[in-house]
Each structure stands twice: as C-alpha cells, then as structure tokens.
Amino acid sequence: MILIPCIHCGPRNASEFAYLGELGRQPDPNTTTPPEWRRYLYTKANTAGWTVERWVHRAGCGRFFTVERNTLDNKIRTARPPDAQIRLIQQAGRADPKADA
Amino acid sequence: MWRPLNGLLGNGRGSGPRARYSAFGLLRRGLSGADWPPAWSTHDLAPSYDVVVIGGGVHGLATAYYLATNHGLRNVAVIEKRYIGSGASGRNTAIIRSNYLTPEGVRFYHRSLKLYERLAADLNFNVMFEQRGHLTLAHNDSSVRTMRWRAEVNKLEGVDSEVIGPTEVKELAPFLDVSEQTRYPILGALYHPPGGIVRHDAVVWGYARGASARGVHIHQDTEVLDINVIGGKVRGVVTNRGEIATPVVVNCTAGWSSVIAGMAGVELPIETFPLQAAVTEPVKFFLNPVIVSGTLHVYVSQTARGELVFGASVDPFTSYSTQGSLEFTEELAGHVLQLMPSLARLRLLRQWAGLCDMTPDFSPIIGATPVAGFYIDVGWGTYGFKAGPVAGEAMAEFIATGTPPEIIATFDLARFDEGRLVGEKGAAAVGH
C-alpha cells in the first residue's frame, strides 16, 4: 500500500483514506442535458500517468483534498486543499492556503 | 523478460504442419524422444491485415480464432505488447461460472460456460476444465435474498443453480466452519454445480495454437503506439515494429483499454483498478468446490497441483501498478481463516496483481464505437476470463457480419449515453 500525504495529518497509510476519483468538471445542473450529465458521471480519463484526484481522510481528520498521483507507480507529487476551499480562503484575505492547513 | 515454455510452445517460423495431440502421439513421441513442433508460429509484420486485434490474451486470441474458424477471415493479426497471456489472462483466479443476476448476463456467461465445456475437444488442447461446483456463501439475510434472486433468474435461463443450507454446505466442503459462533456465520449458499476452474494459460495457448494453425499472425513483443484514424475511420495502427494498414481494429486490452481507446479518440466509462491474488504451498487435495464469500471479500479454490488460490476484491484506488501490498495479505489471511480455521499453518507462496477495467454497472462493453472500424471488447473488470470464449465468438460474428449478435446487444457503449445500464454488481463483485 502507499502513503497519502494528508494536508492536515501528514503522510498516513492509504487504508485510512477514501479515494473519491479523478477530478472532472461538473456541468451546471440547471442547464445540462441528460447525455451530458451521464457523460460527466461515467466517462473517465483513466490516465496512465499523472492524474489529479480527490481523497478524503476518512479514518482521520476528515479533510477533503486534491492529490497529484502517478497511476503507473503510485508516486505522489502534491497534495493541496480543494480549489473551492483555496478560493474561500483567498476571499477571506489570507494569501497562503497552506498556512491555514 | 521471463518467458515460460517459450522454446517449447512458440518459436517456430512460418506455418508448418501441426501435430495433433493425442494419447497415441504422446506415447510415440515419448518412446522416440522426438521434439514436439512449435504450437504456434512467428511471422514478420505484414504491411496490411483485414483485422488487427490489440491484446494477446484470451479475448484477443479467441476473437482471432473465431474469425478464422467460424467466418473464414484468416488475414488477421494479434498484437501483444509482451508475451501472450502476460496480462489479466495469466493473472486471474481461473474461475468459470454463469450464476449471474441479470437475464442478459446469465445468458451471456452460460454460453461461455458451454463453450468452455467443449473447448478442450474444439482446440485439441487440454485446458483442464474441472466442473467441481461453485459455492457463493451468504452470511446475512440480504445475501440470502440476493442468492435466492440469482437462483431463480438462473433457473429461468436454464442454468443449474440452487440455494442450499449450512448442512449441505458442510457436506460439499467439510473444512468450512459452519458453526454459529463466528463473526460471519454461514447461513446458506448459492450452489452452482457446473462452475469450476480451468488452467488459464492452457486456454490462452490453446486459442493461440488454433488461431495460428488457421493462418492468424500472432506478434508478441509488439507494442501499439498509435491508431491512425482519418475521417472518422480506422486506417491502421503504428507499432514499435512498423506500421500496419487495416480497416478494422479490435481493442482487447483489459486494464489498458482506456489508453488504447484514447489513441483512436474514444473515451470510455472505465477505471483501472488492480486486483490482488495469492497462492499457497501445495497440500493434499481437500477442497473440491470453489468457495466465494462476498461479505469476506474472498474466493478460494484448490488447483489440480494442490495449491490454494485466493482472490479478493479490487484495490481501493485506481492504478496501473501491479505491485502487491501487505494490507491485502493480512486482510486475506484473516478472512480465509474465518472460513477455514484449519488453514492457520499454511504458508503463502506468492502474491500478484492484475489490472481490472471496471465499468460503472459491472457489465462489459462489447461492440462498435463512434470511430468506424474501431471495435471494443473491454470493461471486463473482475469477470473477463470466464467470458473469453463467448466474447471472442460474438465479437468475431459482429466483425464478420456487421450486425451485433443478440447475446451482446445490450452491452454496447451507447448504453451509458442512453441510460440503459445493465446492473450486475450483485453477482459480479465480491465486495458489495
């Protein structure tokens, strides 16, 4: 198994985390068509190489975060808070989101 | 790279005469000491083929075999990145069954089981199919309900399948702990007598030998680097040994199917997960049926050599890495010991992983794509090996006739856009 660098707890065994899948762009639910929504639900890039994905530290602090992982050898390059969270922190006037994490 | 039996099975050049395997032939060669002719031939890459199959596993080789046998299409190439059977075909736990949940799933896997039953005779190659019976254990009321549901669907489709109680389970597998004092007591099981195990390498080799004898070119150590698509039509493939012109490409690459489909510009609803398996040291024969427990995420069978083969559910996150993990071994051992405490002193010999191309509905994707001439036989998740013969037969018919056979009609790619999913999770996944 591999170590996942939690943004709050540091590197922990992957069995403590839940893998939530690769990040995709969600269409606007108010204007999307059923085929477009289904494509968003089902179609995956399934990249063999570096991917950006979402994890949650389920058996730990409960934080959601974004991980950059190479699916060929499971090496992890970066772990950061979700983009939406970064935006919120920036709006609150704090420039460095990692300082908060 | 390690190539088992390469010299014995496949180093011949050209398509020379094949020896028909028989007891008499075995005796004659045993006495004379003469070498066996190679089981399949090697060829130079031809500039063009009528059909190029990517992936030299059971699906790819079966497709080529049935194209040549049932439809007379012999100008066919099978392109394999490493050696044939090196992917999921040589890494699965070799279990054959047809006790699925949906009527279309049951019909499909039943046809495959029927093909497996006569495969050794058809291919003149001993695939060692042993129909020892298959037990899916139920540890709670909802599992019993699903087993009952499956048994009734199975019976309607003419598949031998029945729910049995703990006493009958104990008779079939005396080493199972059927007491009520365990964490997950065995309340019953779905008993499927035609299920069993097969030698997976032999199936791959048998199809390769049969296809090669009918003129199919098998190219090992040949990696597809790109697929040429012009004007929405397949024109050829680019390999590390040169370019091939072809109007038809079939993607039979299991865990790598998204990568190959991406070369043709086709996106798939597939995620690749590793699935780990392990094998113990060989012991005296004691376990006849195949044992599966969904609750405990484990399946066990004993090979003809005496080793116990264990499989589990897929790893908890996607990956193309086939590296094993200690978590898997620990969890597996714990679960196996809950089922059969008497195995406590048995030692594991090795563990490995194979790549599973999982679909959202746990059913495969077989058929055409928006790119003309680009066919897919993918999404085999954890149930691809048992479907190899029927998938090859149906895909060959589709390519030769241009219309999808009824048995695969519901497994098309368009079902995801049109919302016609074939939910097979209740019978295909162990971890539900």
- The full DSSP string for B29-94 is HHHH-PPPPPSSEE-PPPSB-SEEEE--SHHHHHHHHHHHHHH----EEEE-SSSTT-SGGGTS--
Beta strands B196-197; B95-96: pairing state: antiparallel
Beta strands B348-358; B233-239: pairing state: unpaired
Helices H / strands E in chain B, number of each: 13, 21
> Among all residues of chain B, which has the CA nearest to that of A48?
B320
Measured distance CA(A34)–CA(B349) in Å, rounded: 50
Q: Is there a contact between A14 and B316 if contact means CB atoms under 8 Å apart?
A: yes
Helices (H), B72-186: 103-117, 119-123, 141-156, 166-172
Give me the pLDDT at residue B412, please. Answer: 96
Measured distance CA(B281)–CA(B302) in Å, rounded: 11
Tens of pLDDT, residues A7-27: 999 999 999 999 999 987 889
Query: Are A67 and A79 contacting, i.e. CB atoms less than 8 angstroms apart?
Result: yes
Give me the pLDDT at residue A24, please. Answer: 79
Task: Please name which of B198, B369, B191 lies closest in space to residue B268, comparing C-alpha atoms.
Answer: B369
Chain B hits for A47, CB-CB cut-off 8 Å, are: 258
Tens of pLDDT, residues B370-384: 999 999 999 999 999
The pTM score is: 0.92
- A87: distance to nearest CA of chain B, Å? 27
- B16: distance to nearest CA of chain A, Å? 40
Give the distance from CA B153 to its chain's centroid: 23
B327 vs A1, A41, A74: nearest CB: A1
- A69: distance to nearest CA of chain B, Å? 9
Rounded average pLDDT per 10-residue block, chain B, 432 residues: 44 54 91 91 97 98 98 97 97 96 94 97 96 96 94 97 97 95 94 97 97 97 98 97 98 97 96 96 97 93 96 93 92 94 95 96 95 97 95 98 96 92 76 42
**Residues of B numbered 395-424 whose beta carbons fall under 8 angstroms of chain A's beta carbons: which are they?**
416-419
Task: Please name which of B256, B260, B254 lies closest in space to residue B239, comparing C-alpha atoms.
Answer: B260
Query: Are B228 and B88 contacting, i.e. CB atoms less than 8 angstroms apart?
Result: no
Helices (H), B288-418: 326-339, 388-401, 415-418
A-B CB pairs within 8 A amount to: 64
Q: Is there a contact between A43 and B268 if contact means CB atoms under 8 Å apart?
A: yes
Chain A hits for B316, CB-CB cut-off 8 Å, are: 14-15, 18-19
B320 touches chain A (CB under 8 A): yes
Q: Is there a contact between A71 and B417 if contact means CB atoms under 8 Å apart?
A: no
* Strand ranges inside B35-114, DSSP E: 41-42, 51-54, 76-79, 95-96
Sole residue written with tokens 């199975």: B154
Task: Please name which of B95, B130, B122 lies closest in space to residue B310, comparing C-alpha atoms.
Answer: B95
